[in-house]
Structure 1
Amino acid sequence: MKLKQRYDLIVVGAGAAGIIAAITAARLNDKVLLLEKLPQIASKLKATGGGRCNLTNTLNNEEFMSKFGRNGRFMQDALKEFDYKTLINFFKEIGVDTHAPDGFRVFPTSHNSSTIISALIDEMQRVGVEVLVSQRVEKLLVINNQISGIQTTNNIFNTKRVIVATGGLGYPTLGADGDGYKMAQELGHKVTQLYPAMMPLYTKEKWVKNCRADTIAKVELKVDMKKQSKIKVYGDLIFTKNGIRGPVVLDAARDLTPLLEKYGEVPILLNFTKGMNEEQITKYLKELFSKAPHLTILELVNTLLPLELSNEICKLAGVEAHLSYKKIAGEQRAKLINLLAWTPLTVIGHEGFKMAMITRGGVDLREINPKTMQSKIVDGLYFCGEILNLDGPCGGYNLQWSFASGYLAGASFSKNTFIENI
């Protein structure tokens, strides 16, 4: 095994958090080594947002943190140093223009993640970050509770400061295998229970396969369980052969996967009518029928929903789709209107981490200093990004957190501010 030269900082993991940490530290004149176990860097970043790379969003810090739940305030110091405006300026500085076409989600104007990755690579070269790929870290070396180096499969690298930015368990084909969690646990850190999040879901109901032609916009999804009634998400939905996907499903999955593990199945209710309630739907159908009495009930419902979904909801209500509104029995009409307001489905499973964009759970935040991202257990050990127990919804939340935490960890490494424990 070869003994390599000493570095001021070694970053493990060349994703969004690790790359920006390395750049930030190198800009502060640190000698930085970035290690990646795959043959190329930023594999997951390249796939983010379907390759379009939704970098962040335009929420203020308070609103942004609230979307992460009770752990959100842990991000306060990181966001204070590196919020979405700072991120936009950073990319502009390295040659990437961004915009927010919907006023909320921020993308590179190219809408291509390769633009982001190329700019980051160029900046790492400019500031002197040494990048080594195909380097699997086997062990973090510690002497007297102080990081002393890193052991890879073939080499030992000396350093007194390490950032672990290895991400979560989602998308194992892009390199995720939980190695960072193992490193953390070996050094005494607690890792909370890990769940796959942000992914498609399977349903018990088979009729969903008949509705795959259209995207349903502005759907509200809520959990139909008394103790979980606060779980509500909004967004577009797409039916699949075996269930549902789309932004609203990806956001809901964060909360549903732990419930699935506990209960086996989770009943949900979906409003496909853009928030209309039973009274509003009743009024709408009556008024439309009075103007167009020749329309069948299927044709009336089709003015609210795509044809395939309209047909399935009529079937669920036991309504003959070819009849007129007036000829439907009152009980059936009430059932139809109830189903239009809230359509029930039962979530029964998912594909696990194979299709999970992010991981729910991670290194316990109570063991990390939020002002620096440094471990409270081992001196010189830092964590950032998805490996920590923080996950947010779709819309640039998780990438912003990765960039902000990576920046804060990297900024903590300036040789001018770091005091070594002797």
Structure 2
Amino acid sequence: MKKYDIAVVGAGPAGCMAAIQGAQQGNKVIVLERNDMIGRKLLLTGNGRCNLTNSSSLEVFIEKFGKNGSFFRDVFSEFSNQDLMNFFEKYGLKLKEEKDGRVFPVTEKSKSVVYVLLNVLNEYDVDVCFNYRLEHLQKVSDIFKLISTKKEVVAAQSVILATGGVTYKFTGSTGDGFRIAETFQHQVTSLQPGGVPLRVGEAWVHDLKGVTLENVGLSIGYGNKKKFLSSGNLLLTHFGVSGPVILDNSNMIVELIGVHGDLQLYIDFVPEISLEALGVCLVEDFQKQSKKSLKTYLTNHLPNSMIDPILNNMSIDPKKKLNQVTKKERLSLLEILKGLPLTLCGYLSIDKAMVTCGGVSQREINPRTMESKLVGNLFFAGEIIAGCGGSGGYNLQQAFSTGYVAGNSAVKLKKN
């Protein structure tokens, strides 16, 4: 039976950073990984480009995690986005910032990030045991025994669970960490999809799959409330909607669907102009271009592929001349251009999501150390912890930051 100071379960970003931080301070560290390589899921992030963090302020990071954000304040402060960028640049990986503060490697390849992590693990003599799937975790006195499905046994003074969530199951994220946590009486909160496309009830939208609506304003309506999301690109799919704005807000939308049922999504095709100003513009245009067909005119405001379906749903002839459009029809068009309503009736399953929302309850984890409040020397890092952020590098930063703090805290406990 091999004995270590720290055993890290999972070789994703959280696990690798935890192991590196522990080993840098002279500890004997092992990483137990069920795949035959590290960073399997990391390779898929950012469409293979790896959006590893965001340049936003600490307050924005906390805001991106919603009601769970305050829990991560300490770890984001101890190991910030700038600290993470400095880490990779120190080891030779140049980074670049893109739209909305998203940070990528200049190589635009996720494997460049994995390569750095692997090199640093090797530099600090971290043992990495591949094809090791943890089946049982036991604590006898002050020592943990980790037993694999093949009955391989590892002993360690501290254990860091960084097994991820339940998304992208083919990468090994099958929820093993949650099962282990529950054996130690930890509560695992409801697992919901984060960064997930949404289903739309209107069948005509499904026929427009592949159409991208650029720089549209988006709002959602529920009960008597209407909440503005942001402006951005919206992708229509064979089941509904996706795109950066949807993925970034899907965590919150999924929660609202759970509470209120179907929601309304309002698409503003001309967010740069007010309802009143657009109304005046339509009156003037309809007078000046009176002989132009409605379909031809609407190409100024709508993607061509959407004009016929929208007008058909409004029972307006696309060939109608502008001077034939009634006042009632013009006002209806105005409302559509500033807020086309679609019914959000659900979302794709969690295995199609980018990240797992839910996990080991934050109430049972010390936010300063990532140590369990129930079991001494047991730590959590990464997606296994309840609470997920919006898209844009925030969740990967959470993984690196919680991993850093967990590794550092396990070291301190050993020294004490």
For the residue of structure 2 that corresponds to 1:134, the secondary structure is coil
Question: 2:237 matched to 1:240?
Answer: yes
Task: Decide which of 137, 146, 152 is 2:148's aligned counterpart.
Answer: 152
Corresponding letter in the other structure for 2:144? S
Q: Which residue in 1 is equivalent to 2:413?
A: 418
CA offset at residue 326 of structure 1?
2.7
CA offset at residue 310 of structure 1?
2.7
Corresponding letter in the other structure for 2:118? I
Corresponding letter in the other structure for 1:80? S
| Percent identity for Structure 1 against Structure 2 | 35
CA offset at residue 110 of structure 1?
1.0
Please give the TM-score of this superposition, normalised by the length of structure 2: 0.94
* Partner Cα distance (1:147, 1:327) in 2: 83
Describe the superposition over 1:251-305 as per-residue Cα deviations: whole angstroms up to 9, x where unpaired.
Answer: 2321233444455533322223235442232233344445544432222221122
* Partner Cα distance (1:290, 1:115) in 2: 59
* Partner Cα distance (1:402, 1:97) in 2: 20
Task: Decide which of 226, 251, 259 is 2:223's aligned counterpart.
Answer: 226
Corresponding letter in the other structure for 1:366? R
Q: Which residue in 2 is equivalent to 1:280?
A: 277
Q: Which residue in 2 is equivalent to 1:322?
A: 319
Is there any run of 5+ residues in structure 1 with no aligned partner, and where?
none
For the residue of structure 2 that corresponds to 1:192, the secondary structure is coil
* Partner Cα distance (2:83, 2:224) in 1: 40
Question: 2:331 matched to 1:334?
Answer: yes
- Judged with a 3 Å threshold, the aligned counterparts in structure 2 of structure 1 residues 231 and 174 are, in CA distance, closer, same or farther, namely farther
Q: Which residue in 2 is equivalent to 1:94?
A: 91
CA offset at residue 233 of structure 1?
4.6
* Partner Cα distance (2:321, 2:154) in 1: 77
Q: Which residue in 2 is equivalent to 1:69?
A: 66
Describe the superposition over 1:337-371 as per-residue Cα deviations: whole angstroms up to 9, x where unpaired.
Answer: 11111111112233312211111111111111111
Task: Decide which of 309, 312, 315 is 1:312's aligned counterpart.
Answer: 309
Question: 2:211 matched to 1:214?
Answer: yes
Please give the TM-score of this superposition, normalised by the length of structure 1: 0.92
Within 5 Å, which residues of 2 pair with 1:157-168?
Answer: 157-168=154-165
CA offset at residue 213 of structure 1?
4.5
* Partner Cα distance (1:331, 1:380) in 2: 69
* Partner Cα distance (1:129, 1:404) in 2: 19
Q: Which residue in 1 is equivalent to 2:170?
A: 173
Q: Which residue in 2 is equivalent to 1:358?
A: 355
Describe the superposition over 1:95-127 as per-residue Cα deviations: whole angstroms up to 9, x where unpaired.
Answer: 110010336111001111011111111111111
- Judged with a 3 Å threshold, the aligned counterparts in structure 2 of structure 1 residues 17 and 192 are, in CA distance, closer, same or farther, namely same
The answer to whether the Cα contact below 8 Å between 1:273 and 1:305 also exists between their aligned partners in 2 is: no
The answer to whether the Cα contact below 8 Å between 1:23 and 1:129 also exists between their aligned partners in 2 is: yes
The answer to whether the Cα contact below 8 Å between 2:38 and 2:118 also exists between their aligned partners in 1 is: no
* Partner Cα distance (2:319, 2:9) in 1: 63
Task: Decide which of 375, 387, 395 is 2:372's aligned counterpart.
Answer: 375
Question: 2:391 matched to 1:394?
Answer: yes
Describe the superposition over 1:133-179 as per-residue Cα deviations: whole angstroms up to 9, x where unpaired.
Answer: 111001111135x5522111221111010111111111112222111
Q: Which runs of 4+ in 1 moved over 6 A?
A: none
Within 5 Å, which residues of 2 pair with 1:130-141?
Answer: 130-141=127-138
Describe the superposition over 1:46-95 as per-residue Cα deviations: whole angstroms up to 9, x where unpaired.
Answer: 00011011111111101211121122111111111211111111000111
* Partner Cα distance (1:266, 1:315) in 2: 23
* Partner Cα distance (2:306, 2:234) in 1: 12
Say which is worse superposed, 205-214 or 371-380, in terms of deviation: 205-214
Q: Which residue in 2 is equivalent to 1:189?
A: 186
Corresponding letter in the other structure for 2:145? G
* Equivalences, count: 415
The answer to whether the Cα contact below 8 Å between 2:195 and 2:248 also exists between their aligned partners in 1 is: yes
- Judged with a 3 Å threshold, the aligned counterparts in structure 2 of structure 1 residues 388 and 213 are, in CA distance, closer, same or farther, namely closer
Q: Which residue in 2 is equivalent to 1:409?
A: 406
Task: State the Cα RMSD in Å.
Answer: 2.0
* Partner Cα distance (2:324, 2:237) in 1: 33
For the residue of structure 1 that corresponds to 2:403, the secondary structure is helix
Describe the superposition over 1:192-248 as per-residue Cα deviations: whole angstroms up to 9, x where unpaired.
Answer: 111112122221111113333432123333332126644735432111112111112
Question: 2:45 matched to 1:48?
Answer: yes
Corresponding letter in the other structure for 1:151? I
- Judged with a 3 Å threshold, the aligned counterparts in structure 2 of structure 1 residues 420 and 123 are, in CA distance, closer, same or farther, namely closer
- Judged with a 3 Å threshold, the aligned counterparts in structure 2 of structure 1 residues 286 and 229 are, in CA distance, closer, same or farther, namely closer
* Partner Cα distance (1:302, 1:294) in 2: 15
The answer to whether the Cα contact below 8 Å between 1:172 and 1:353 also exists between their aligned partners in 2 is: no
- Judged with a 3 Å threshold, the aligned counterparts in structure 2 of structure 1 residues 291 and 401 are, in CA distance, closer, same or farther, namely farther
* Partner Cα distance (2:272, 2:36) in 1: 48
